[in-house]
């Protein structure tokens, strides 16, 4: 299938893009396009205008500053994959990256696009939540920062307003006591996972504290597993699995019951990763 007709405009600045969004309520932003283009090609979405933000300067880049890793909205997955900054200061992202799509997809797909699209089965939204990161957004009323916990609102629904553009993702930089874990179960490499888990914690003696578990593929948004976090902090892995209060729906790949079981398996595997001493 071919896309339904639309107009195309390459925005030269954020202000221009924001203004275009205002003038064209059913316009869509085009960043990496690796999810959007597929929906356009299948005529599942038929916007009147595509606003290409790829030419806007200053939205790329990955930097370590003031205790945080700031990832520009247009940084490509490949940029993150190869970034020494990510490897050193955002190890959870580094762990997640190889699971995302395939090389040609990662060459084009952007981290900002993934967070803005907020696919509940995608890796990066869960990582953002697990790391308690935040996103910068800019709209007609100016800039604001949204905490990950306030950002994911529903199925493909975020706190971004209709005229707001995600400009950057900010993650707390890892410190010596940071522990991260990541695992997912996808039937084929690079596919969306049946269920996945991104986790962060801080070492506390031989135990853990500030455990944050973010599941993906089990609900309308990435989901925290609060009860399990507390149990894991106590070192009680069985308790953590028992406390999983997920209620995933059946989908094409697995029933809710299977997903829930697999969520428990992942919890044990990720817990083991969190307990590992860093090299």
Partner 1 sequence: MKITADSPPVLSVLDRPNSYIGRAVPRPNLQRLTQGRGQYISDVTLPRMAHVAYLRSPHAHARIVSIATEAAKKAPGVVAVVTGTELAKVMTPWVGVLTHLKGIKSAPQYPIAVDRACWQGEAVCAVVARTRAQAEDACELIDIVYEELPAVTNPETALDPATPVIHASLGDNLCFERKLDVGEVDKAFANSDAVVEATFVTGRHTGVCTEPRAVVADWNEGEQRMTVYHATQAPHMMQNLFAKHLDLSESQVRVLTKDVGGSFGIKVHTYADEMATVALSKLLKRPVKFVADRIESFVTDIHARDHRIKGKIGVTRDGVITAFEIDDLTGIGPYSVYPRTSGIEANQVVNLTGGPYNCPNYRAQARVVFQNKNVMCQYRAVGHPIAVAVTEGLVELAAAKIGMDPLEIRRRNLFPDDGYPAQTASGLKLEQLSHHEALAHLDTMINYAALRAEQKALRDKGIYRGIGFASFIEVTNPSAAFYGVGGAKITSQDGATVKLDAQGAITIHSGVTEQGQGAEAVLAQCVASSFGVSMDRVRVVTGDTDNTPYGGGTWASRAAGIGGEAAWQAGKALRGNVLAVAGAMLQAKPEELDIRNGVVVDKTTGAERLGLDELARVAYFRPDTLPPGFQAELMVTRHYVPRGWPFAFTNGIQASYLEVDTDTGFVKLLRHWCVEDCGTIINPQLVNEQIRGGVVQGIGAALFEQCLYDERGQMLNGNMADYLVPMAVEMPDIDCGHVVSPTADSELGAKGAGEAGTAGAPACIMNAINDALRPLGAQPLTDMPFTPGKILRALGKV
Partner 2 sequence: MSMDIDITLTVNGERVTERVEARKTLVDFVRDDLGLTGSHVGCEHGVCGACTMRVDGVIVRGCLMLAAQCDGATVETIEGLSDSGEVADLQAAFEQRNALQCGYCTPGMLTAAQELLQQAQARNAVPSRDEIREHISGNYCRCTGYHAIVDAVESVAKARAGAKS
The binding site for partner 2 (CB under 8 A) comprises 1-10, 30, 33-34, 37-38, 40-42, 49-50, 52, 54, 78, 98, 101-105, 107-108, 188-190
- Would residue 66 be called left, alpha or beta, if left means φ above 0 and alpha means ψ between -120 and 50 degrees? left
Q: How far apart are CA 1 and CA 59, in angstroms?
A: 32
Partner whose binding site includes residue 145, from partner 1, partner 2, none (CB under 5 to 8 Å by kind): none
DSSP-derived 3-state class of residue 214:
strand
Query: Rule CB under 8 A: is residue 265 a binding residue for partner 1?
Result: yes
| Given 57, 66, 176, 188, the residue binding partner 1 (CB under 8 A) | 188
Query: Rule CB under 8 A: is residue 8 a binding residue for partner 1?
Result: no
| Residue 248 CA: distances (Å) to CA of 85, 193, 236 | 35, 13, 23
For partner 1, the closer CB: 176 or 252:
252
Partner whose binding site includes residue 192, from partner 1, partner 2, none (CB under 5 to 8 Å by kind): partner 1
Query: Rule CB under 8 A: is residue 242 a binding residue for partner 1?
Result: no
CB of 166 to partner 2, least distance (A): 19
Query: Rule CB under 8 A: is residue 261 a binding residue for partner 1?
Result: yes
DSSP-derived 3-state class of residue 138:
strand
Burial 120-154 (b: 16+ CB within 10 A, else e): bbbbbbbbbbbbebbbbbbbeeeeeebebeebbee
Burial of 220 (0-12, 13-18, 19+ CB in 10 A): middle
Is the distance from CB of 202 to CB of 273 less than 8 angstroms?
no
For partner 2, the closer CB: 54 or 220:
54
| Given 57, 66, 142, 189, the residue binding partner 1 (CB under 8 A) | 189
Applying CB under 8 A, the residues found at the interface with partner 1 are 1-5, 38, 42-43, 185, 187-192, 194, 252-255, 257-258, 261-262, 265
């Amino acid at each position: 299938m071919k896309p339904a007709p639309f107009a195309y405009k390459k925005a030269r600045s954020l202000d221009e893009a924001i203004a275009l969004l205002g003038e064209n309520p059913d316009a869509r932003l085009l960043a990496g396009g690796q999810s959007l283009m597929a929906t356009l090609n299948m005529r599942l979405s038929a916007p009147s205008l595509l606003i290409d933000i790829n030419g806007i300067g200053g939205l790329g880049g990955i930097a370590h500053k003031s205790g945080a890793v700031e990832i520009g909205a247009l940084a490509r997955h490949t940029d993150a994959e190869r970034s020494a900054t990510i490897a050193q200061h955002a190890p959870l992202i580094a762990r997640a990256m190889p699971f995302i799509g395939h090389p040609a997809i990662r060459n084009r797909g952007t981290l900002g696009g993934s967070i803005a699209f907020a696919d509940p089965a995608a890796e990066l939204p869960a990582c953002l939540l697990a790391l308690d990161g935040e996103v910068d957004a800019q709209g007609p009323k100016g800039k604001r920062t949204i905490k990950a916990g306030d950002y994911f609102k529903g199925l493909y629904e975020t706190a971004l307003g209709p005229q707001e553009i995600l400009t950057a993702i900010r993650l707390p930089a890892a410190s010596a006591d940071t522990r991260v874990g990541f695992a997912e179960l996808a039937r084929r490499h690079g596919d969306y996972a049946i269920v996945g888990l991104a986790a962060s914690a801080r070492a506390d003696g031989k135990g853990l504290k500030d455990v944050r578990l973010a599941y993906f593929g089990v609900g309308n948004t990435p989901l925290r597993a609060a009860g399990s976090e507390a149990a894991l902090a106590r070192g009680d892995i069985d308790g953590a699995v028992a406390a999983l209060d997920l209620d995933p729906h059946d989908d094409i790949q697995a029933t809710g019951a299977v997903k829930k079981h697999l969520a428990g398996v992942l919890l044990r595997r990720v817990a083991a990763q969190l307990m590992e001493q860093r090299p």
